[in-house]
Structure 1
Amino acid sequence: MFCKSASQLLKELAYNDNDQLTPFNNDIFEQVFRECDEHHLHLQSLMRKIQDDGLDIQTTRNSDHFGAVIHHLSLIRNKRCLMAYMYNRAEIIRSLRWKIGTILPEEIQSKLNYSDEEYFKNHCAALEVYMSEIDLDLTVDMIPPKDPSIQVRVRCDIGDVLLGDQVASLTNNSVHLMKRTDAEQFISQFQGLMEEFT
């Protein structure tokens, strides 16, 4: 039966929980690739046969034409199934960067094939470049904060710093109201010297 292996790949996606990565099914993936090659060879053979018989490919409606149509449609369906399988994996891999970070646990890494690993590495690199260009860590708050400001407490004398267009004196035990983005930058810059005050 044509496209049976490709439909198995999609059933595998349907049975999985959302955002759960399964090991790459290389065996079925390769079967679908081989079936695509076979459909392509049959399609070319039937098209050549129609031309060799001196018939017009556009207007001929014989068994060779309908066989070519079946192989063409099966080829398209297989390709769509392969693309859906890869797209779903790419979506899950992309979400792992946002949820877990740049270093994946061993149990997840064991489920990746080479192209998955390369995709994850390239996505991480592109995200890092973008965040450095806009000077903002987009992975800090996945849920938007209710308030754009935050109170921070200084645990040790830091000195005077520029906050927006004002100079603030960051002295021991002083509490300051800052924009969340500024506060996160200072907390990471002065680790241990400044903390969120609740």
Structure 2
Amino acid sequence: MYGRSASQLLKEQASCESGQLTVFNNVAFDQVIKECDEHHLQLESLFRKLMEQKLDVQTTRNGDHLGAFIHHHSLLRNKRCLMAYMQNRAEIVRSLRWQLGPVLPEEIKAKLSYSEGVYFADHSKAIASYMSEMDIDLTVDMVPPKSPSVRVMVLDDIGEVCLGDQSISLTKHSLHSLSRTDAEPFISQGLMEELLD
């Protein structure tokens, strides 16, 4: 029945927790595209039939005209559903870049379609290019800090890193007081944990 696959995509998205992705539903998505193609073919056929009968498409009110009207509006509805599905997923993909950084975990990558993966990579490159050009790190301090430094515990061996003008060894379970701008990238990658007072 027409419209079921498109509504299935939106119901699937609505049932998901806000900001979370489900696996891209290729089967339903392709089925909606196929259905759109069918509506388009039917619409062309009905318009051709009206033209052959030399009837005015705007004023004629017969079965062919009403059929064309139904196919046209079904086509528009399916397109709106596909656009809503893709727009919602694109918003989530953009927000993942800000939450998780330029590298997505494998379990999230597995949920993306190929084009969404390319979109994420291009979006990350655009952000990195802008930050480089402006010489500013927009990913730091997503929430305004209470102090410029932060106490952290290292969750995984990171090794020797240069932070500011000093070299520091970040070994597993070591505690450090670092500037928030130095610690934030490690915290967002899950390599450090902020210790709250």
Does TM, scored on the shorter chain, surpass 0.5?
A: yes
CA distance in 1, matches of 2:114, 2:71: 30
Deviations 1:134-175 (A, max 9, x none): 21111111112357xx479xxxxxxxxxxxxxxxxxxxxxxx
CA distance in 2 between counterparts of 1:72 and 1:103 reads 42
Q: Who is 2:84 aligned against?
A: 84
Query: Percentage identity across aligned positions?
Result: 60
SS in 1 for 2:143: coil
In structure 1, the residue matched to 2:14 is 14
4+ long deviations beyond 2 Å: 144-147, 187-198
Q: Distance in 2 between matches of 1:116 and 1:188?
A: 34
Residue ranges of structure 2 left out of the alignment (5+ in a row): 151-161, 169-176, 181-196
Structure 1 portions without partners, runs of 5+? 153-186
Match of 1:183 in 2: none
- Separation in structure 1 between the aligned mates of residue 24 and residue 88 of structure 2, nearest angstrom: 12
> 2:71 aligns to what?
71
Q: CA deviation at 1:110?
A: 1.1
SS in 2 for 1:117: helix
SS of the residue corresponding to residue 43 of structure 1 reads: helix
Deviation readout 1:42-80 (Å, 9 max, x if unpaired): 000000101101101111111111100100000000001
Partner of 2:112: 112
How many residue pairs align between the two structures? 162
- Specify the code of the residue in structure 2 equivalent to 1:125: K
In the alignment, the residues of structure 2 paired with residue 70 and residue 141 of structure 1 have an alpha-carbon distance, to the nearest angstrom, of 52
Question: Relative to structure 1, is the Cα distance of residues 196 and 139 closer, same or farther in structure 2, using a 3 angstrom cutoff?
Answer: closer
1:189 is aligned to: 164
Residues in 1 aligned to 2:84 and 2:149: alpha-carbon distance in whole angstroms: 46
Amino acid in the other structure paired with 2:164: Q
Q: Given residue 189 of structure 1, which amino acid in structure 2 is its aligned partner?
A: G
Q: Provide closer, same or farther for how the CA distance between residues 114 and 191 of structure 1 changes in structure 2, counting only shifts above 3 A.
A: farther
RMSD: 2.2
When residues 37 and 151 of structure 1 are mapped into structure 2, their CA distance, relative to the original with a 3 A threshold, is: closer
